[in-house]
Amino acid sequence: MSKPVIILANGRFPGSGLALGYLNNAERIVCCDGSVANLIEYGLEPWAIAGDLDSVPDKLRKTYAARLYHSDDQETNDLTKAVKFCLEEGITDIVILGATGLREDHTLGNISLLADYAESVSVRMVTDYGIFIPAKPGKAISSWPGQQVSIFAIDKGMFISSTGLKYPLKNIELENWWMGTLNESTGDNFSLDFNKGRVLVFLEIPT
């Protein structure tokens, strides 16, 4: 089984054991624009560099000229451009790193986009504190007793129920992002049922 392709965004560079484990064991790393400088400084090299490329230093632009994927589409951000590049390469499994921290507006945007990416590819976003994954109705999500869990409804008009959570959701509409936060798993998995739309789940990881 092949390893997932890593997309390294230009937020805070990974620092946790899990995130760095993905990075250190990656076979292919796609850098979002300026994140390539951080990757090189860390001691690894990109498989590809995607974005509008306005943040890539000239020296690295020349060194990795054959690995550049340029898109000047102003309707998408660099993370989305990197995902599109992966889709064009036939990649079906992606782990996103470095997508949070630094600027909060970029963090919120990157998290919300995860739900869109999930329509085309298997994807998760790993931070220094947890993992964001798109949820599918009724599908078990691996967990452990006491693991902290937060649930975010991306779309309005969704009614969500849960099994395996300390504070059960019973056909509730999560009208704001805070409403599904600070829950807890009671076993080795839990599941969500919802009538429509897109849902993201945040799973705590040990730090």
pLDDT tens digits, one per residue of 115-149? 999 999 999 999 999 999 999 999 999 999 999 99
Residue 81 identity: K
The per-residue pLDDT for 111 is: 95
The per-residue pLDDT for 52 is: 87
The per-residue pLDDT for 12 is: 95
Cβ contact 26:6 at 8 Å? yes
- Residue 207, pLDDT > 90, answer no
Average pLDDT, the chain: 94
Q: How confident is the model at residue 174 (pLDDT cuts 50, 70, 90)?
A: very high
Q: How confident is the model at residue 196 (pLDDT cuts 50, 70, 90)?
A: confident
Q: Provide the 10 A C-beta neighbour count for residue 205.
A: 16
- What does the block give as tokens for 201? 């789940």
Burial of 121 (0-12, 13-18, 19+ CB in 10 A): middle
pTM of the model: 0.94
The per-residue pLDDT for 102 is: 84
Question: Tens digit of pLDDT for each residue in 88-123?
Answer: 999 999 999 999 988 999 899 999 999 999 999 999
* 197 Rama sector, left if φ>0, alpha if ψ -120 to 50, beta otherwise: left
User: Given strand 48-51, what is the order of strands in its sheet?
Assistant: 68-70, 48-51, 29-32, 5-8, 93-97, 122-126, 130-135, 199-204, 148-153, 183-184
**Mean pLDDT calculated for residue range 152-178:** 94
Residues 6+ apart with CB under 8 A from 195: 158, 159
The per-residue pLDDT for 1 is: 54
Question: Tens digit of pLDDT for each residue in 13-22?
Answer: 999 999 999 9
Q: Provide the 10 A C-beta neighbour count for residue 195.
A: 12
- What does the block give as tokens for 66? 């054959």
The per-residue pLDDT for 8 is: 98
The per-residue pLDDT for 73 is: 79
Give 6's strand partners: 29, 95
Question: Tens digit of pLDDT for each residue in 27-43?
Answer: 999 999 889 999 999 99
Shortest CA distance to 58 belongs to which of 42, 34, 87? 34
